[in-house]
Structure 1
Amino acid sequence: MNPIIQLEHVSFNYQEDQTILALNDVSFTINKGEWIAIIGHNGSGKSTLAKTINGLIMPSEGEITVDGLSLNEENVWKIREKIGMVFQNPDNQFVGSTVEDDVAFGLENQGVPRSEMLVRVSEALEKVRMSDFKTKEPARLSGGQKQRVAIAGVVALSPDVIILDEATSMLDPEGRMEVISTIQKLKKEKELTVISITHDIDEAANANRVLVMKAGQLVQEGTPEEIFSAGEQLVEMGLDLPFPEKLKIELTKLGINLPAEYMSEEGMVEWLWTSSLRK
């Protein structure tokens, strides 16, 4: 294993006199190339966790290490170069009058030479399939297209880690699928590490591992199969169930015997298909 992010006993409170911590003694390791989903209800600490990893806020206690660098005032800018963030509302990230200007903005801030900048902007837009829109105004794009441009702006900076902070929550199902498939492709091409902060259980099912947050604490960790097979326990934590698990519950009520293990949507379709052929 090759750790790229390590948290050791990290705590954070927004006000010194707060008795309930936003993060409370959180420890975990993320390995290079993993896709990690962090789930939990509102107020569970998910977004606070993302901001501490990126150095947008400093932990009150504990230590964070990113690619061998300790998160501190001396290293924070080096760490931010390694981690790109895509937020919930892409409109809040747009600063350029055109798509290509917007993607170039971060590179300009880093002082990248213009000749290199043009190449990186073009390559980033091509990777997210937005080259045809480079002269368009970002405001005139669909939700899914806007988010792909936001991703292109991050990709152009060549980070090692991308954090999706509720990046698909404002999109319709088609736009959500569009963004996730884009990230999956980029992850494979560039060996990215992806951290997905999400309410969307179906999105979390794409991850290698799922971390469950509750009241600022890490309460559960495992593969999607291990986490989602908990069924009703997820509901008790204020989380939804993945569609295949909901379907299993309803089919069981109808007297249909299904495998006990967790199945993805593809696995459920295959099981239903093969079971119907057996009849």
Structure 2
Amino acid sequence: MKPIIELNHLTFRYQKTDERPALNDVSLSIYPGEWVAIIGHNGSGKSTLAKTINGLLAPEKGTVKVGDYTLSEADLWSIRRMVGMVFQNPDNQFVGATVEDDVAFGLENQGIPREEMLVRVKEALEQVRMDGFRTKEPARLSGGQKQRVAIAGVVALRPDIIILDEATSMLDPEGRAEVIATIKKIKEENNLTVLSITHDIDEAANANRVLVMRQGELIDEGTPEKIFSAGPKLVELGLDLPFPEKLKYSLKEKGIEVPTQYLTEEGMVEWLWTSALNK
């Protein structure tokens, strides 16, 4: 399958005098329909990488290809029409007086006819379960609701790719779960490619593939099972472990025999339940 995002030998420095580049010779491919999570501690280059994909930052060396377009001044806007970004703080994205005005803003900028715009706004708000809040002021919404409106604004533009740049990091656990469930639903309904830049290991566990970055370099990649089975090695990199893996290590320390394979939360519940029944 042909990649929908292809980065080749990407290098980027914020200042030419920086001794260590923010991105150092990074190459990777992301395929249509994938959910790829990029994890790493602060300063690892995760968000810098995301911003090079849609041209917010121009690489010092290397190439960025999105779909059939190679990042350049000539193709910049074609790429941005393919890539929607949801940022960390939804308040920074709001420009409309009401929820529906805000979702319509990007469509107006693209010159979408009013009749089509009304349909897209309604559909996008329904997809994120915010249709009942159309006339509400964004400032009066909860954190999770605000982020769902920000996602609706991106979905209405009908991109091929959604990049979540630490999009759940400012939310409480309930809001975080709400947003992740929304993204899962939208991805399936629209066959989107999702790139999740995150500190939240439980969010990353939803991905098809996880990329691990350190000091501007891609140091590992694989399925969540492969990456999170590394356990203590992830902790050494300054990263956390998903809750099921933490629980496994705690049980193991108490002398309880636990499965060697990676377990999702559902898998851990099933194992605990069957283990209890077998005793």
Alignment deviations for residues 216-239 of structure 1 (CA, whole Å, 9 cap, x no partner): 000000000000000000011010
Q: Does 1:96 align with 2:96?
A: yes
Alignment deviations for residues 214-265 of structure 1 (CA, whole Å, 9 cap, x no partner): 0000000000000000000001101011111110111011111011111111
2:265 & 2:59 partners in 1: Cα distance? 38
Aligned residue in 2 for 1:278:
278
Aligned residue in 1 for 2:15:
15
1:127 & 1:241 partners in 2: Cα distance? 31
2:277 & 2:228 partners in 1: Cα distance? 27
Q: What runs of 5+ residues in structure 2 fail to find an aligned partner?
A: none
Aligned residue in 2 for 1:204:
204
Q: What runs of 5+ residues in structure 1 fail to find an aligned partner?
A: none
Q: Could you say what the CA RMSD is over the residues aligned between the two structures, in angstroms?
A: 0.6
Q: Please, what TM-score do these two structures have when normalized by structure 1?
A: 0.99
Aligned residue in 2 for 1:176:
176
Aligned residue in 2 for 1:257:
257
2:174 & 2:81 partners in 1: Cα distance? 31
The 5-angstrom pairing of residues 154-165 of structure 1 reads: 154-165=154-165
2:80 & 2:273 partners in 1: Cα distance? 47
Aligned residue in 2 for 1:31:
31
The 5-angstrom pairing of residues 102-117 of structure 1 reads: 102-117=102-117
Aligned residue in 2 for 1:6:
6
Alignment deviations for residues 44-96 of structure 1 (CA, whole Å, 9 cap, x no partner): 00000000011111110001100021011110110000000000000000000
1:68 & 1:214 partners in 2: Cα distance? 29
Alignment deviations for residues 19-39 of structure 1 (CA, whole Å, 9 cap, x no partner): 100000000100000000000
- How many residue pairs were aligned? 279
Aligned residue in 2 for 1:194:
194
Cα displacement (A) at 1:2: 3.1
Cα displacement (A) at 1:187: 0.4
Aligned residue in 1 for 2:137:
137
Aligned residue in 1 for 2:73:
73
| Matched letter for residue 173 of structure 2 | P
1:253 & 1:239 partners in 2: Cα distance? 20
How much identity, in percent, do the aligned residues show? 73
Q: Please, what TM-score do these two structures have when normalized by structure 2?
A: 0.99
Alignment deviations for residues 136-165 of structure 1 (CA, whole Å, 9 cap, x no partner): 000000000000000000000000000000
1:265 & 1:129 partners in 2: Cα distance? 25
Moved over 4 A (4+): none
2:53 & 2:234 partners in 1: Cα distance? 25
| Matched letter for residue 276 of structure 2 | S
2:200 & 2:15 partners in 1: Cα distance? 30
| Matched letter for residue 42 of structure 2 | N
2:114 & 2:144 partners in 1: Cα distance? 28
